[in-house]
Amino acid sequence: MTSRQLLIRDILVLLAFAGWALALPHYASEFVTAMALTCLMYIALSSSWGLFCGSTRYLSLATSAFFGVGAYTTAILLGTFGWVETIALGAGIALLLAVVMGAAVLHLRGTYFAVLTFGMTELILHAVTYFEKSVTGTVGRVLTVVPDNSVIYLTVLALAVLAVAVSIWVRRTRFGLALMGIGADEQRAQTLGVNSRLVKIAGFALTAAFAGAVGAAMAVRWTYIDPHTVFNPFIGFQTVLITLIGGVLTLWGPLLAAIIFSVLAESLRLQFPQIYLMSLGLMLILCVLYLPGGLASLRWTTFKQWWYETRDWAKDVKRELSGEKEHDKQRQRRREKESYFV
């Protein structure tokens, strides 16, 4: 396929998904709609996360920080501003935070970056908790003016579609190529004229803006907000999980994984919350070990490869057990000895 055909295919798939999601609340039950909402939220979060962190391989765990900041923006400003303005503000504030944070930490690589973003998230969480406790004198906030459920659904849907559309678009621009270049080899990218600092900050800010907007939109679902629910590091973890299991470098992997996860989450979480989380952990480990490219990289040949590997392993075990290996070794040793004498 040429790149133009790929673009058309991607846009068509996106439109089909969007149309389906748009029609869903009209015929499905409330439970399914709620599930779809969670699913859309994770699609938006993980697609935008993959956009920056997937291509540059900067593992950010700060998603929940931006999400929480967006949620708090809604909690504080929703009365004074309209719905759309509030969400835009949530995205804007998260973006500003990301620019400051990115300027401070994006020169660190690998594990340092991951740990530091996690630390920053916790710092913000504890700072907000402390602020609320000592200055405003409350622990949480109650949202009184809440828009209609269908409005929330449409907003999150729009954000999800926007996130996927932006990742389709960014892949085709210089900016996207620069991000990929940084992921492959940062120094080489710099040598080839990429201003890696600026590109990284811009990418990080873009991811954060989406997370902030999603947080701002989802905040009204809870009606009662406290720091520990909206800054929950689990939101960040799950975003990372979904993207990794789906496939960081692929466009549709995160979407696929988000759907699987939300179905799994909604069906298991209420009855067996621990089993849900255990299966999450197990899936992550298996995925990293056996399918590093993610679910979207699953092809017919992958199964074949697994089959060959298992077969070879079984053969090896069989040889070991039947004593043939030991026999071979002895033969080898004897031959070496003989050749020494000759």
Partner 1 sequence: MSVTAWLELIVSGLITGGIYALVALGLNLQYGLMRILNIAHGEFLMVGAYLTWLVQTQFGVSPLLMVPVAFIVLMALGVVVHFLCFRRLTATSPNLDIFEARGLMVAFGLMFLVQNFVSWVWGGDLRGYDYLTEPVKMGEVQFAANKLLLFLLALLFAGALIVLMRLTLLGKGVRALMQSPIGAQLMGIDTKKLHPLMFGIGLGLSGIAGALLSMAYTITPYMGQPYTVTALIVITLGGFGSMGGALFGGLLLGVIEALGMHYTNPSLKALLSYAVFITVLLLRPEGLFTRKSRKA
Binding region for partner 1 (CB under 8 A): 57, 59, 104-105, 108-112, 114-116, 118-120, 122-123, 126-127, 129-130, 133, 237, 240-241, 244, 272-275, 277-278, 280-285, 288-289, 292
With tokens 């621990």, the residue in question is 274
Bridge-partner residues for 142, per DSSP?
A: 224
Q: What is the DSSP letter of 202?
A: H
Rounded distance, CA 167 to CA 268, Å?
31
- Minimum CB–partner distance for residue 54 and partner 1 (Å): 11
Report the residue number, 20 or 130, with the smaller CB distance to partner 1.
130
Report the residue number, 59 or 87, with the smaller CB distance to partner 1.
59
Rounded distance, CA 306 to CA 284, Å?
18
Report the residue number, 37 or 59, with the smaller CB distance to partner 1.
59
Report the residue number, 191 or 339, with the smaller CB distance to partner 1.
191
With tokens 């290996």, the residue in question is 325
Alpha helices (runs of H) in the chain, residue ranges in sequence order: 3-27, 30-49, 55-56, 63-77, 83-105, 110-131, 149-171, 174-184, 186-191, 196-222, 227-230, 233-246, 253-268, 273-290, 300-322, 324-341
- Minimum CB–partner distance for residue 23 and partner 1 (Å): 35
- Minimum CB–partner distance for residue 60 and partner 1 (Å): 12
Report the residue number, 86 or 117, with the smaller CB distance to partner 1.
117
For residue 230, give both structure tokens: 């909206």
- Minimum CB–partner distance for residue 143 and partner 1 (Å): 25
Determine contact, residues 157/21, Cβ cutoff 8 Å: yes
Report the residue number, 80 or 111, with the smaller CB distance to partner 1.
111
Report the residue number, 123 or 151, with the smaller CB distance to partner 1.
123
- Minimum CB–partner distance for residue 11 and partner 1 (Å): 31
Report the residue number, 113 or 210, with the smaller CB distance to partner 1.
113
Distance (Å) of CA 264 to CA 35, 36, 240, 260, 269: 10, 12, 17, 6, 8
Determine contact, residues 92/217, Cβ cutoff 8 Å: no
- Minimum CB–partner distance for residue 288 and partner 1 (Å): 5
Terminal Cα-to-Cα distance of the chain (whole angstroms): 63
For residue 250, give both structure tokens: 């692929």
With tokens 């988000």, the residue in question is 258
Q: What is the DSSP letter of 173?
A: S
- Minimum CB–partner distance for residue 186 and partner 1 (Å): 10
- Minimum CB–partner distance for residue 310 and partner 1 (Å): 13
